[in-house]
Amino acid sequence: MDDRRHLRTQAISLVNHAPDAFEGMRHYGPEQVVDGLDAVLNQITGESFGSIVNGGSSRQRDAVVAGWRVYAADLACKQDK
């Protein structure tokens, strides 16, 4: 998740599933792999731990990665029950 390599293509488009969406697609300009992963994980789960989908500072990325780690750990706990 915490992959800070730069993306070759800094563009990603995802289907917009929001019920009040005025466009069918969501378009982002992630700068690093971690930014793109944040967009994809938000698309799959509907969760958000900050917004780095169009890039962000190191501090913002640290916070988002920490949020996804807690989310993933919580999922593992639920599966163990």
pLDDT of 1-42, one tens digit each? 899 999 999 999 999 988 888 899 999 999 999 999 999 999
Half-sphere exposure of 54 (CA within 13 A, CB side): 3
Q: Smallest Cα–Cα separation from 35: which of 57, 52, 15?
A: 52
* Axis crossing angle, helix 58-80 with helix 33-45, rounded to the nearest 10: 40
Return mean pLDDT, the chain: 92
Residue 77 has pLDDT above 90, yes or no: no
Entry pTM: 0.86
In what helix (H) or strand (E) does residue 41 lie, and over which residues does it extend? Answer: helix 33-45
Half-sphere exposure of 5 (CA within 13 A, CB side): 5
